[in-house]
Amino acid sequence: MHDLHQAVILAAGASTRTHPLTVDRPKPLLPLLNRPLLQWTLAALDGLVEEAILVVGFRQAMIRRAFGERFGKLRLRYVEQREPLGTGHALMQALPLLHGRFLVLNGDDLVSRRDLEALTAFPQALLTTVMDDPRAFSIVDLDEEGRVVRIIEKPSSPPPGAQTSIGFYLMGPEAMEAVRAIRPSPRGEYELTDVAAMMPPERRFHAVAVEGYWLPIGYPWKLLEATCFLLEHGYTATPPSAGAAIEGPVLVDGSVRIEEGAHVGPYAVLGAGVRVGAGAVVRESVVMAGALIGAGARIEASVIAEGAVVGAEVRTLPCEAPCTAIIRSRVKGRLLETGLRRLGATIGAGAVIGAGSVLAPGVKVWPRCRVAPGRTLTRDCRPEKEGELCACS
């Protein structure tokens, strides 16, 4: 089938679940191995389709500036989703620009080029995987030929081995008509998952199991998991650094300054202009562009955003001894289990952590907040009101 020329990338959401990293930028611009998430998606599409239509909303000007009108051989076009009314509503905004078959992708989750190509073997298809706990996702009910009969949103008691839809589709003109016919769900959103159930038997979506990779970035710690996966699969670069110990796999930008006695890695990524002070340790962590890690600091299993300043002798604790419990972290006011037994802190852009402070596992610091020296932070540090600066003493 050669009528595939377009892809739609859904990149409009504000993504409050990934705060504090996405307080003031869209999640598709979060760096993964020093490249924006959206760049990974565009690279997977380059040469597979001719045009990518980006549905944008939150901080959309930042995305437009970052990528412009072309990426490689891809033509880029933008449409706006003015209200956050769901994935189906987002796709509706792109329908006037579409013709023939087209791919639909999430702008903040990554899949391999191999899996996108696998979708193109069918008139209409969607990607699935088996998850240990799919209750927060959607499972698919299949007929005997592996085609989707219905999609069950957030099942309370999913059967073992159920296939979970991950939100990547290949659609044809019949699906476009179904998208137009979507009605709001009980929560007031237009759900893209409704489309599969609206297809007649001869037009059902084929379920295609992921064979490459799927890297969802739904929470701050998922950025660490994706980083570790990609480093293990060869995405590394280590410039020489006299006097510092670098233990791979790591990715270190060529402009990074690492002082004598510091230890970086394994599973560390340092962005452009990062400075690591003498005797500091950075392992299993992402340190974004322009951040400073003070002398003697120990940063483990943590995400440090752009321009943050981590003072001397600061420690981010990756677990509570004896490191057997699942770490919990607060998201949108609720404590969630992360599924991880090692998780340090998430520090927002421009935040300052005073010298000698200790950050408990799973703690988050909002952008531009200041933690006083010598403090032990056991809960999130954030402004009382949106837009305010904060100080956690």
What digits encode the pLDDT tens for the residues 299-328?
A: 999 999 999 999 999 999 999 888 899 999
Provide the percentage of residues in the chain whose pLDDT is more than 90: 74
Query: In this model, does residue 132 exceed pLDDT 90?
Result: no
Query: Can you give the pLDDT at residue 119?
Result: 96
222 within some domain: no
Output the domain CATH number for residue 36. 3.90.550.10
- Mean pLDDT computed over every residue of the chain: 92
Confidence of residue 194 (pLDDT cuts 50, 70, 90): confident
Q: What domain range is 92 assigned to?
A: 4-216
Query: Can you give the pLDDT at residue 90?
Result: 95
Query: In this model, does residue 2 exceed pLDDT 60?
Result: no
Amino acid at 283: R
Output the domain CATH number for residue 380. 2.160.10.10
Query: Can you give the pLDDT at residue 70?
Result: 97
Query: In this model, does residue 279 exceed pLDDT 90?
Result: yes
- Among the candidates 182, 216, 250, a domain finishes at 216
Task: Tell me the C-alpha distance between 5 and 294, whole Å.
Answer: 50
Nearest to 285 by CA among 263, 306, 270: 270
User: Both 166 and 275 in a single domain?
Assistant: no
User: Both 241 and 210 in a single domain?
Assistant: no
Confidence of residue 239 (pLDDT cuts 50, 70, 90): low
Query: Can you give the pLDDT at residue 154?
Result: 72
Query: Can you give the pLDDT at residue 369?
Result: 95
Query: Can you give the pLDDT at residue 240?
Result: 59
Query: Can you give the pLDDT at residue 241?
Result: 63
322 within some domain: yes
56 within some domain: yes
Confidence of residue 28 (pLDDT cuts 50, 70, 90): very high
Query: Can you give the pLDDT at residue 237?
Result: 72
Task: Tell me the C-alpha distance between 184 and 180, whole Å.
Answer: 12
User: Both 244 and 359 in a single domain?
Assistant: yes
Average pLDDT over residues 27-43: 97
Query: Can you give the pLDDT at residue 387?
Result: 61
Is the overall model pTM greater than 0.85, yes or no? Answer: yes
221 within some domain: no
Query: In this model, does residue 187 exceed pLDDT 90?
Result: no
Query: In this model, does residue 97 exceed pLDDT 90?
Result: yes
Query: In this model, does residue 204 exceed pLDDT 80?
Result: yes
User: Both 199 and 301 in a single domain?
Assistant: no
226 within some domain: no
Confidence of residue 135 (pLDDT cuts 50, 70, 90): low
Between residues 216 and 153, the one the model is more confident about: 216
Query: Can you give the pLDDT at residue 37?
Result: 97
User: Both 47 and 186 in a single domain?
Assistant: yes
Query: Can you give the pLDDT at residue 242?
Result: 59
Query: In the chain, how many domains are there?
Result: 2
Residues 302/319, Cβ–Cβ less than 8 Å: no
